[in-house]
Chains A and B, each alone.
Chain A
Amino acid sequence: MAPVQAQVLPTGQESGIVAEKVRDGIDLEVNGEHFRHTGDPQLPLLWYLRDVLRLTGTKYGGEAGEGGADLVLIDGKAVSAITVPIARLAGKAVTTVEGLAANDGSLHPLQQAFIDEDAIGCGYCTPGWLIAGVDLLRRKPHPSDGDIDQLPNLCRCGCQARVRRAIKRAAAGKAGQP
């Protein structure tokens, strides 16, 4: 893409508008907030989230995102954050586990369902399961066992059965109910 040529037009002093050149960098949105990254465009999103924004809910799992601990939503779709360089995120909206709850603190139904079902072992891979589950529920509001089987996540604590129940609970609209 050719660099954008910005022509700075003179404005009258009384207008109060100060001319500014187009800045370098990549604009992206994370959990509803806008950021501009001016460093290495090849920086993987995972390290941008963890080292720069200090959003540490997205976990490191492996060099290729194995196990799904580093899943985030990019424009609503679950993607492994370590595999995406910032350069590919211009104008995109990223949602991490920290951004799943509403601004008033009320939880996403799937977050609540994980609490209801105690679908938590050590908890390290839980954010990844949540992101994958939210993505699944968006595509299939009433997922079958076969749909749930397709989730890419791994869990050594053996929480899979409880996660399955939590997804079904959220799908049934029963999160937060006894």
Chain B
Amino acid sequence: MSGQGLRLSRRRFLQVLAGTAGALVVGIRIADAADAPLPPALLGDNLYNLGAYVRIDADGNVLIGARDPDTGTGVATALPRIIADELDADWNRVDVVPLGLGVDNDNGKPRWAYGRQLGGSGGSIPAAWNDLRQVGAVARWLLLQAAARRLGVPASRLRCDAGTVIAPDGRRFGYGSLAADASKIALPASVPPLKNATDYKLIGQSAGDVDARAIVTGQARYAIDHHYGDALVAVLAHCPWPDGTLARIDTTDTLAVQGVLKVVQLKPESGQPPGNTVIAPAVAVLAENTWAALQGRAKLKLEWKPGASGSENSVTLEQQALALLADEKTGPTARVRNDGDVDAAGRKAARRLDATYIQPWLAHATAEPMNCLVRLDKDRASLVVPTQAPQKAWAVVQRLTGLAPDRIDIRVPRVGGGYGRRLDHDYVAEAVMLAKAVNKPVRLLWTREQDFGHDYYRAGSVHRISAIIDRRRQLLAWNQRMASASALVRRGVPDDRLWTSELQVDQLPAALVPNYRSDWYALQSAIPRGPARGMPHLSNAFAVESFIDEIAHQMREDPLKTRLRILGEPRQLPLGSGNTLDTSRLANVLKLVADRIEWKNWLRTVNGLGIACWHIDGAYVAHAIEAAMQGEQLVIQRVVCAVDVGRVINPLGLQGQVAGATLDALSIALNAAITIKGGQVQQRSYKDYPLASMAQLPNDVEVITVADDRAPAGASFLAMPTAAPALANAVFRASAVRVRRLPLMKELLRLL
């Protein structure tokens, strides 16, 4: 039962091995030692134990593993289809299984059996395009060799279609009948050539979510739905201040609740970065069931004392930001980009325009609250974790248990929303600490008010932008200054890189304006902050794309024309990230949304039309929105979004992501704001942090996808940044009110 290895690159090779009952199993592994022996568990029936992606069974069923957590991004559908296409599998015979964390023990260090495992960062499909196609290609090659031997014909004369090998004379062999033979064939010396795009059968074709039936029947089990028979339910009361302390505790009434077994105190471990340990001091109530635990928590008598953060207010932070930016002589914390000479350009200004944009703190507000199921045995930890980054969750468990790398089993079922919140694993640390404390399995559940009150928030920001326009209406200089509290403080990032969570060097209109400067000013805050969906694009796109509209208005020009003029001739501009900005692709998405929404009516229509565009890592997006005021009510009548992400893997999935990101961004921009008073977050429920209702949102989002054959770029949050500025620009046309502060509805009603 020895496996065979094929070197793909220095660190990567494929493995092929015989599974049980004549199955063919093909995987891809990152390994330091190419000839590392395969653990016998790889041959088990359970794909969770397989460091492999594809299993073809003798009956023709194909099992494909999905490595990246699916938080609603559709990767559990898209990634397996990338493999299945190269394999020429019959999609109707494919079952998809979430792989969970793949980790081996490499002399005490973890070796990630599936390579990259990360969800919701926009990188899943680009990464899969690079390596997962090879898995399908090797499996297909082996099946072809097996058929060739059986028929006595060269493999080059055979072809594959929907799970069968077809001979020149028309004879057909199902993959299942070839699996056992294929598993005994020696691997090719190099990876077989990948398909030509013209031969794609699944890539570029729409497929519904693989979990759809399980979800609509209530059978899909999220981490929160998992049980171990003897697990205690844990609910927490967190200190309102992350740096506060517990002054007094009385658990008498709590322990009197039937079913409550224990009360345990938790504290953040000093020296651990945010997201690796408990988010704030907490008291946990452990009980036989959820109801008992909740009742017990309600009866806790706790007195918390604030720490230094107890004096913090979001209003004060905003005033600090405004003060920092008011004086142009104040030097920035970081000069992010400096092209040409902004100051010199300013001295020969024909016209100068200034504006300040203010955006609030935001919460993640995931649908599924934080939770974690953990069982600690003597030499093994078993967890079910709703995470976007199982390898990071592993690191937390390993540190707290000291177990060998491969003794930690982390399952990751479908996740009820991530948005960056689940790149942090404070809740995993809590669950493991509690399981250690009570020596029993623990099922940790956060309630909604904790999710709102104890998040790693997206910090608010203030942008001050000035533009210099010459006599020929050319944008001569752009001077952008942003103040915010970095999401990267205490996260192992050097001080001179803290701005990277707030800005990117290539963001529009960088590279398009001869004199361009982008400065960042650091604000200090003790309120926890962390990664958030759309960061660092969301806040910058709102400021920049609103400001370009203001420039157009000042010049009495159609804002679409202004944008196209700034983009200029079709050309490729090198970007700092290594990508290029293709101005024609950006202009194309702009024109597509403009045509669809009938932009030619921009001046005449009584409704407001607004437009915005952006680019992220080689992907392009534009929104056009039609809005109207009905009294004090804002009605979003039409929303059109065009995206160019290179090759589209699953058009239906992409449309869903684009429409979803659009509505999410509108929902946040319309209403959402986290406020801090006395160091405490004031929002406790959806009532205080109102996501938009069905009625507030547009009835439809018209999505246009550009056909392109370049390697696919990520799309999970591509459509977020332009939605809010396109809306604000439409509102300006509809109401003559320029909204420079979010949330939009509150500001609009104040200014109307």
Binding site for B on A (CB under 8 A): 40, 43-44, 47, 50-52, 54-64, 66-67, 69, 96-98, 100-101, 107, 111, 114-116, 118, 120-127, 130, 145, 148-165
Whole-angstrom distance between the alpha carbons of A116 and B208 in the complex? 8
A-B contact pairs, 21 of them (CB 8 A): A40-B291, A44-B291, A47-B289, A57-B219, A61-B367, A66-B686, A96-B218, A98-B218, A115-B216, A120-B209, A121-B72, A122-B414, A127-B218, A130-B216, A145-B699, A153-B694, A156-B365, A157-B417, A158-B659, A159-B663, A163-B694
Chain A residues in 8 Å Cβ range of B691: 67, 154-156
With A97-B218, A154-B686 as given contacts, are A149 and B664 in contact (CB-CB < 8 Å)?
no
What are the 7 A-B residue pairs with the smallest beta carbon separation, nearest first? A57-B218, A122-B72, A158-B663, A124-B416, A158-B660, A97-B218, A56-B225
**B217/A100 in contact, CB under 8 A:** yes
Contact between B700 and A161, CB atoms less than 8 A apart: yes
Known: A47-B290, A97-B218, A149-B694. A60 touches B416 (CB 8 A): no
Interface centre among A47, A127, A150, A158 (most CB of B within 10 A): A158
Binds A, one of B178-186, B442-450, B571-579, B603-611: B442-450
State whether B693 touches A149 (Cβ < 8 A).
yes
**Chain B residues with Cβ under 8 A from A163's Cβ?**
694
B211 at the interface (CB under 8 A from A): yes
Which of B227, B367, B661 has most A Cβ within 10 Å? Answer: B367
Bound complex: CA A51 to CA B209 (Å): 28
How far apart are the CA atoms of A158 and B668 in the complex, in Å? Answer: 11
Cross-chain contact B368 with A59 (CB below 8 angstroms): yes
Give B445's nearest chain A residue, CB to CB. Answer: A60
Rounded to whole angstroms, the CA-CA distance of A123 and B510 in the bound complex is 38
Residues of A within 8 A of B667 (CB): 156, 158
Q: Say yes or no: A115 contacts B212, CB within 8 Å.
A: yes
Q: Which of B512-551 contact A (CB under 8 A)?
A: none
Inter-chain CA distance A61–B369, complex, in Å, is 8
Q: A97 vs B417: C-alpha distance in the bound complex, in angstroms?
A: 20
Q: Within 8 Å of chain A (Cβ to Cβ): is B698?
A: yes
A160 with B367, Cβ < 8 A, contacts A62-B686, A123-B215 known = no
| A117 and chain B: residue at smallest CB distance | B208
In the complex, besides A55-B218, A122-B71, A124-B417, 18 extra interface pairs with C-beta distance below 8 angstroms are A40-B258, A44-B291, A57-B218, A62-B447, A66-B685, A118-B212, A120-B216, A123-B211, A125-B416, A126-B215, A127-B216, A149-B693, A154-B691, A154-B693, A156-B366, A156-B667, A159-B663, A160-B697
| Contact indicator per residue, chain B 659-685, by CB within 8 Å of chain A (1) or not (0) | 111111001000000000000000001
Per the bound structure, the CA–CA distance linking A59 and B700 in Å amounts to 26
> Which B residues form the contact surface with A (CB < 8 A)?
70-72, 208-209, 211-213, 215-222, 224-225, 227, 233, 258, 289-291, 365-369, 414-417, 419, 445, 447-449, 652-653, 656, 659-664, 667, 685-687, 691, 693-695, 697-701
Q: Separation in Å of the A72 CB from the closest CB of chain B?
A: 11
A169 to chain B, nearest CB (A): 13
| A82 vs B419: C-alpha distance when bound (angstroms) | 26
Verify A56–B218 contact, CB threshold 8 A: yes
Q: How far is the CA of A6 from the CA of B686 in the complex (A)?
A: 49
Interface hub of B224, B447, B663, B667 (most chain A Cβ within 10 A): B663
* Chain A neighbourhood of B211, CB < 8 A: 120, 123
Query: Which residue on chain A has the smallest CB distance to residue B695?
Result: A149
Query: What residue of chain B has the Cβ atom nearest to residue A108's Cβ?
Result: B216
Whether A58 lies near B685 (C-beta < 8 A) is: no
**Contact A124:B217 (CB < 8 A) given known A115-B212, A154-B686, A156-B667:** no
Q: Does B447 lie within 8 Å of A63, measured CB to CB?
A: yes
Interface centre among A60, A115, A121, by most chain B C-beta atoms within 10 angstroms, is A121
CB-CB < 8 A to A52: which residues of B?
289
Q: Are B291 and A47 in contact (CB under 8 A)?
A: yes
Instruction: Return the chain A residue nearest B639 by Cβ.
Output: A161
Please tell me if the beta carbons of B367 and A148 are within 8 angstroms of each other in the complex.
Answer: no
Complex contact A58–B699 (CB within 8 A): no
CB distance from B662 to the nearest CB of A (A): 6
The answer on a CB contact under 8 Å between B222 and A124 is yes
* Residues of A with C-beta under 8 A to B653: 118
Nearest A residue to B224 by beta-carbon distance? A60
CB distance from A98 to the nearest CB of B (A): 4
B686 touches A67 (CB 8 A): yes
**Once the chains bind, are A156 and B367 in contact (CB under 8 Å)?**
yes
Give chain A residues whose Cβ lies under 8 Å from the Cβ of B227.
Answer: 54
Q: Which residues from chain A contact B660 at a C-beta distance below 8 Å?
A: 121, 157-159
Residues in chain A near residue B290, CB distance under 8 A: 47, 50-51
With known contacts A51-B290, A62-B448, A122–B694 Cβ distance under 8 A? no
Q: How far is the CA of A171 from the CA of B227 in the complex (A)?
A: 37
Q: With a CB–CB cut-off of 8 A, which chain A residues contact B694?
A: 148-151, 153, 160, 163-164
Would you call A63 and B449 a contact (CB within 8 A)? yes
The smallest beta-carbon distance between B713 and chain A, in angstroms, is: 20
Name the A residues within 8 Å of B366 (CB-CB).
156
CB pair B448 A63 closer than 8 Å: yes
Task: Point out the residues of chain B lying under 8 angstroms from A149, CB to CB.
Answer: 693-695
Which residues of B lie under 8 Å from residue A57 when comparing CB positions?
217-219
Contacts of B661 in A (CB 8 A): 158
Partner of A122, one of B219, B291, B416: B416
CA distance A57 to B214 in the complex (A): 10
Selected contact of B215 from candidates A60, A120, A161, CB within 8 Å:
A120
B70, B212, B417, B656: the one contacting A156 at CB < 8 Å is B417
Q: How far is the CA of A152 from the CA of B417 in the complex (A)?
A: 19
Query: Which of A111, A116, A160 gathers the greatest number of chain B CB atoms within 10 Å?
Result: A160
- In whole angstroms, how far apart are the Cα atoms of A165 and B652 in the complex? 14
A100→B378 CA distance, assembly (Å)? 43
Residue of A nearest to B227 (CB): A54
By beta carbon, the residue of chain A nearest B70 is A122
Tell me which residues across on chain B come within 8 A of A67, comparing CB atoms: 367, 686, 691
Min CB distance A166 to B, Å, is 10
Cβ-defined contact, A122 with B208, below 8 A: no
Chain B residues in 8 Å Cβ range of A161: 659, 663, 697-701
> What's the nearest-Cβ distance from chain B to residue A86, in Å?
10
**A165 CB contacts on chain B under 8 angstroms:** 700
Known: A55-B218, A63-B448, A97-B217. A118 touches B291 (CB 8 A): no
Chain B CB count within 10 A is highest, among A66, A122, A126, A154, for A122
Which residues of the other chain, A, contact B659 by a CB distance below 8 angstroms?
158, 161-162
**Contact (A115, B208) CB under 8 Å given A130-B216, A156-B365:** yes
| Complex: A85 Cα to B104 Cα, angstroms | 48
A55–B217 Cα distance when bound, in Å, is 11
Distance from B123 Cβ to chain A, minimum over Cβ atoms (Å): 18
Residue of A nearest to B415 (CB): A122
Q: Which B residues touch A59, using CB under 8 A?
A: 222, 224, 367-368, 416
Q: How far is the CB of B726 from chain A (nearest CB, A)?
A: 15
A123–chain B nearest beta-carbon distance, Å: 4
Q: A51-B289, A123-B72 are in contact. Are A164 and B367 (CB under 8 A)?
A: no
Q: Is B217 in contact with A101, judged by CB distance below 8 angstroms?
A: yes
Contact residue among A101, A123, A130 (Cβ-Cβ distance under 8 Å from B414): A123
For the complex, give the distance between the alpha carbons of A90 and B216 in Å: 28
Contact B219 A98 (CB under 8 A): yes
CA distance A56 to B445 in the complex (A): 14
Distance in angstroms from B231 CB to nearest chain A CB is: 11
Write the chain B residue with the least CB distance to A99.
B218
Take A60-B224, A69-B367, A118-B208 as given contacts and tell me if A98 and B217 are in contact as well, using a CB distance cutoff of 8 Å. Answer: yes
Residues of B with C-beta under 8 A to A156: 365-367, 417, 419, 664, 667, 691
Contact between A64 and B218, CB atoms less than 8 A apart: no
B587 to chain A, nearest CB (A): 27
